């Protein structure tokens, strides 16, 4: 993203749903740092007050505590909004397996509410968080946007349904949308606590606490881990692109390299041991694979490079170093 792109957004008002969450709060921070007006809609079910505390005294920031499952809240949040960055969702494959109804209520019904509210408010563009889980059981690597398989979890179904609804809202109501299929995003403000914590902050917290991280399976499963700053760049590119061919489609958001879980744990151990030498001697343990997990994930980012001028700056190594520095300061 460039200063010129951010200047395009000056004077515009952007709604960030789930703005108190991990990705949402990072988006809010970058946009606010460039004097762009932000409305944050969050019910704090997974988002945190601490994530947005630095923004509350900013005149360009408005918080609406509400739930995307409530259509009135969605309409209220969309008043005078130019663009929507829809990040609100219930993530986690295991959570969706344990409670498919709530996952569907938030991710499908809530998503539809937001589309309706955006349509009714005359929003110019609706950018939404899609998911690499949509590729399901499709085995070919790298993952290319127009070829998917069968979903492997209720969560994956909900994210695919989002894409179908977005497509219908363009063809029926001419609401411009862009879906961003996130691949294993990590970085500052990602919560290490709770049963459904993402693997990187969870491993970091375990190492910092001198506990052994536990890998599901033998560690050979691999992911295209994507640092948060790459994701912020992609969202801003999607907001500001003026090529009509780039709209009303979906894009992979990743770095385009895959890292095994054992490689990931080893890198974290190495980087954290620079702060605490004891961590270098901590054993990495293993247990059975989880239901619904895909073995390997790797994105093609050619489409995003071509149509959205995507140029990710952080690979797994440089991203982990940034994340580890942040966690070391904030987990102590």
Structure-token match 């492997």, residue found: 152
Catalytic residue among 135, 155, 160, 271: 155
Specify the pLDDT at position 1.
Answer: 61
Core vs surface per residue 131-158: b (16+ CB within 10 A) or e: bbbbbbeeeeebbebeebeebbbbbbbb
pLDDT at position 292 = 66
Residue 170 is a catalytic residue? no
Nearest one of 13, 56, 22 to 182, comparing CA atoms: 22
Task: Give me the residues paired with residue 222 across strands.
Answer: 260, 296
Are residues 222 and 141 in contact, defined by beta-carbon separation less than 8 angstroms? Answer: no
CA distance 40 to 62: 6
Output the pTM of the full model: 0.94
Q: Using CA atoms, how far apart are residues 165 and 161, in angstroms rounded to an integer?
A: 6
Contacts of 161 (CB under 8 A, 6+ apart): 107, 108, 111
Phi, psi of 281 (to 5 degrees): -105, 5
Give the pLDDT of residue 39. 98
Which CATH architecture is the domain 3-186+228-256+299-314 placed in? 3-Layer(aba) Sandwich (3.40)
pLDDT at 221: 92
Do 242 and 264 touch, CB atoms closer than 8 A? Answer: no
Where do the domains of the chain lie? 3-186+228-256+299-314
pLDDT in tens, the chain (332 residues): 677 777 889 899 999 999 999 999 999 999 999 999 999 999 999 999 999 999 999 999 999 999 999 999 999 999 999 999 999 999 888 899 999 999 999 999 999 999 999 999 999 999 999 999 999 999 999 999 999 999 999 999 999 999 999 999 999 999 999 999 999 999 999 988 877 778 999 999 999 999 999 998 899 999 999 999 999 999 999 999 999 999 999 999 999 999 999 999 999 999 999 999 999 999 999 998 877 677 889 999 999 999 999 999 999 999 999 999 999 998 76
Residue 112 CA neighbour count, 13 Å, CB half: 10
């Amino acid at each position: 993203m460039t200063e010129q792109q951010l200047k395009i957004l000056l004077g515009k008002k952007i709604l960030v749903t789930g703005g108190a969450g991990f990705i949402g709060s990072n988006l809010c921070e970058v946009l606010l740092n460039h004097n762009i007006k932000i409305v944050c809609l969050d019910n704090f079910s997974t988002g945190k007050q601490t994530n947005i505390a630095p923004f509350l005294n900013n005149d360009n920031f408005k918080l609406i505590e509400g739930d995307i499952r409530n259509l009135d809240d969605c309409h209220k949040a969309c008043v005078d909004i130019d663009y929507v960055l829809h990040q609100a969702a219930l993530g986690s494959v295991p959570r969706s397996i344990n409670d498919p109804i709530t996952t569907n209520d938030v991710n499908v019904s809530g998503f539809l509410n937001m589309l309706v509210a955006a349509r009714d408010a005359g929003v110019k563009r609706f950018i939404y968080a899609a998911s690499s889980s949509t590729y399901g059981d499709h085995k070919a690597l790298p993952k290319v946007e127009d070829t998917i398989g069968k979903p492997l979890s209720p969560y994956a179904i909900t994210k695919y349904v989002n894409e179908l609804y977005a497509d219908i809202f363009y063809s029926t109501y001419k609401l411009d949308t862009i879906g961003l299929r996130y691949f294993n995003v990590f970085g500052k403000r990602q919560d290490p606590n709770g049963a459904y914590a993402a693997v990187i902050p969870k491993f970091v917290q375990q190492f910092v606490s001198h506990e052994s991280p536990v890998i599901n399976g033998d560690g050979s499963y691999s992911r295209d881990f994507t640092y948060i700053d790459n994701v912020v760049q992609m969202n801003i590119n999607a907001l500001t692109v003026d090529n009509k061919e780039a709209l009303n489609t979906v894009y992979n958001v990743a770095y385009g390299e895959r890292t095994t879980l054992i490689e990931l744990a080893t890198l974290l151990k190495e980087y954290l041991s620079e702060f605490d030498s004891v961590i270098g001697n901590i054993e990495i343990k293993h247990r059975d694979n989880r239901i619904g997990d895909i073995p390997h994930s790797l994105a093609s980012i050619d489409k995003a490079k071509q149509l959205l001028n995507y140029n990710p700056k952080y690979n797994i190594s440089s991203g982990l170093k940034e994340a580890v520095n942040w966690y070391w300061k904030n987990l102590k």
